[in-house]
């Protein structure tokens, strides 16, 4: 797979270059509260002081207050007919209520600055995502709207010494990332973390190889099978986008995942694994 990420992109995807490479020791990307990416929708504009604006403002307030106390998630709608606004908010599973609310309040402000008068917008941060629209998008698990980010650096080194197959370090790394993300996705979809479909995990192979940290999350009211499928589609994309990259994220509306060679979430990993082909 030598396809470059840009040629693998379809027009519905956004690609950003993460600058995390320059901050390899930054433990929590969440310390930076600027948006990772945003999309201003093309479903129409509202005018100043309109009913839509008033309903949107009420919806944003509701999403933030509800999500911060309800497993970091809220799905709601306000208003009627042409002035109806649908919204969804999801905070990262390791955030507490305070961080969740701070992130979503910032998101409400930022969308008003970045997508002024747009009836639809979606914005992603380290700690949360927010989407609102005049379209009834919350009734289906459509995860096609995404932000894809990766570390510009690649795994380097000779062939992995303990590994018997004649494979490059890059292919070996890709396999380990895939194993980790599959395990983290299984764990997230099994809903074992008190109502949140969220999991973190790490894989350590030897001292000479970086420990890899992974995270997966779905909107908490998704059925487990839908969650696993949503994450699998993103895992499939990692093979195309991140071939050998030392970190990457696929951020959707309904599910998201991320891996790095440094710890990037609060607390301990929810599991510590060993790849099956190394045991």
Ligand X SMILES: *[C@@H]1O[C@H](CO)[C@@H](O)[C@H](O)[C@H]1NC(C)=O
Region near ligand X per CB under 6 A, out of 62-70, 152-160, 175-183, 269-277: 152-160
Question: 97-114 and 51-69 helices cross at what angle (nearest 10)?
Answer: 160
Which run of H or E residues covers position 106? helix 97-114
Residue 79 interacts with ligand X (CB under 6 A)? yes
Q: Please tell me the distance from the alpha carbon of residue 266 to that of residue 212, in angstroms, as a whole number.
A: 15
Q: Which is nearer to ligand X, 165 or 192 (CB)?
A: 165
**Residue from 18, 64, 74, 138 in contact with ligand X (CB under 6 A):** 138
**Residue from 14, 26, 44, 182 in contact with ligand X (CB under 6 A):** 44
**Residue from 22, 152, 272, 274 in contact with ligand X (CB under 6 A):** 152
**Residue from 13, 32, 117, 210 in contact with ligand X (CB under 6 A):** 117
Q: Which is nearer to ligand X, 21 or 204 (CB)?
A: 21
Helix (H, G, I), strand (E, B) or coil at 129: strand
- Provide CB contacts within 8 A for 147, sequence distance 6+: 14, 16, 36, 37, 124, 249, 251
CA distances from 232 to 148, 181, 218 (A): 15, 9, 12
**Residue from 8, 26, 114, 233 in contact with ligand X (CB under 6 A):** 233
Torsion sign, CA atoms 62, 64, 65, 68? positive
Q: Please tell me the distance from the alpha carbon of residue 224 to that of residue 263, in angstroms, as a whole number.
A: 26
**Residue from 10, 12, 34, 48 in contact with ligand X (CB under 6 A):** 48
Residue 54 interacts with ligand X (CB under 6 A)? yes
Residue 248 interacts with ligand X (CB under 6 A)? no
**Beta partners for residue 196, in sequence order:** 193
Region near ligand X per CB under 6 A, out of 7-15, 151-159, 178-186, 191-199: 151-159
Cβ–Cβ < 8 Å for 249, 148: yes
Residue 229 interacts with ligand X (CB under 6 A)? yes
Q: Kindly list the residues in this chain that would bind ligand X in the complex (CB under 6 A).
A: 44-45, 48-49, 51, 54-55, 58, 75, 77-79, 83, 96, 98-99, 105-106, 109, 116-117, 136, 138-139, 152-154, 166, 221, 229, 232-233, 236, 244
């Amino acid at each position: 797979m030598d396809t470059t990420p840009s040629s693998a992109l379809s027009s519905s995807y956004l690609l950003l270059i993460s600058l995390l490479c320059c901050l390899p020791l930054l433990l929590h990307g969440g310390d930076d509260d600027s948006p990772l990416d945003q999309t201003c929708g093309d479903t129409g504009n509202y005018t100043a002081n309109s009913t839509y604006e008033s309903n949107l403002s009420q919806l944003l307030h509701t999403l933030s207050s509800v999500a911060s106390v309800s497993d970091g998630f809220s799905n709601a709608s306000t208003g009627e007919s042409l002035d109806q606004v649908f919204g969804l908010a999801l905070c990262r599973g390791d955030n507490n209520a305070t961080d969740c609310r701070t992130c979503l309040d910032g998101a409400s402000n930022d969308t008003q600055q970045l997508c002024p008068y747009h009836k639809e917008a979606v914005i992603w941060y380290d700690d949360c995502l927010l989407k609102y629209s005049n379209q009834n998008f919350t009734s289906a698990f459509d995860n096609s709207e995404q932000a894809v980010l990766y570390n510009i650096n690649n795994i380097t080194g000779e062939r992995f010494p303990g590994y018997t197959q004649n494979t490059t370090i890059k292919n070996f790394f890709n396999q380990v990332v895939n194993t980790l993300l599959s395990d983290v996705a299984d764990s997230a979809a099994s809903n074992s973390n008190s109502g949140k479909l969220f999991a973190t995990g790490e894989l350590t192979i030897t001292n000479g190889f970086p420990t890899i940290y992974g995270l997966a999350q779905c909107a908490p009211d998704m059925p487990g099978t839908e969650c696993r499928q949503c994450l699998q589609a993103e895992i499939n994309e990692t093979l195309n986008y991140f071939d050998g990259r030392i970190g990457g994220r696929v951020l959707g509306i309904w599910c998201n995942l991320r891996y790095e060679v440094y710890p990037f979430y609060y607390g301990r990993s929810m599991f510590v694994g060993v790849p099956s082909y190394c045991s």
